[in-house]
Amino acid sequence: MAIKTGFRANGTVSTSVELRGIYALASPTSGKDGYFDDAVAIRNRTERIAKAIAPSRTGRLQRGLKSNLTPQGLNLYISVYATSYYARWVIEGTSTPIQPTRATHMKVPPHKRMDGLRGQDLWEMDQPVLLYRKVRGQRPNNFLDQAMRIVLHQRGLAR
């Protein structure tokens, strides 16, 4: 069972898994048609865990998480995807270092954690801005893949 992460043309990032022979999903108490209910439970739990472990500053990435369940014959495809325009940079990371292309410096508003930087209180200035020639890139964080692996492991479907 392979977990695949892909990037769609519309900018969404998707992590999916193919469950082959879906009748093996059914728990003994779920009955003959319980396999679909189990797959729906896997999809819902994966989406919930992805929302819980997604990095969040504004909450836009978490609100943009969706899931899908597609049956094809005896197989099911479960996918969880992020619709935020910057999800790809979170999942793949960014190149290191990031440098401006149209100017010599980048103007970056200070984050609240930067209070007291260089002995100044940046929040008391009228228009606080920091200038950088380059900044460190973001490390990859494939939280969609992690969520899928957690749920499959809990269900005994992955190692």
Report the 3 state secondary structure along 48-69. Answer: HHHHHHCCCCCCHHHHCEEEEE
Domain 3-92+138-154 has CATH 3.30.300: yes
All CATH 3.30.300 domain ranges of the chain, comma separated, are 3-92+138-154
Q: What does each of the 159 residues of the chain score in pLDDT, given as a tens digit?
A: 688 888 887 778 888 888 776 555 555 445 555 667 788 888 999 999 999 999 988 889 999 999 998 877 777 888 999 998 888 889 988 877 888 888 888 887 776 555 445 444 444 455 577 888 888 888 899 999 999 999 989 988 776
Looking up tokens 């992020």 gives 82
Q: Helix count (H) and strand count (E) of the chain?
A: 4, 6
Q: What pLDDT shows up at residue 123? A: 47
How far apart are alpha carbons 89 and 86 in whole angstroms?
Answer: 5
Q: What pLDDT shows up at residue 111? A: 64
The answer to whether the bond into 71 is cis (omega within 30° of 0) is: no
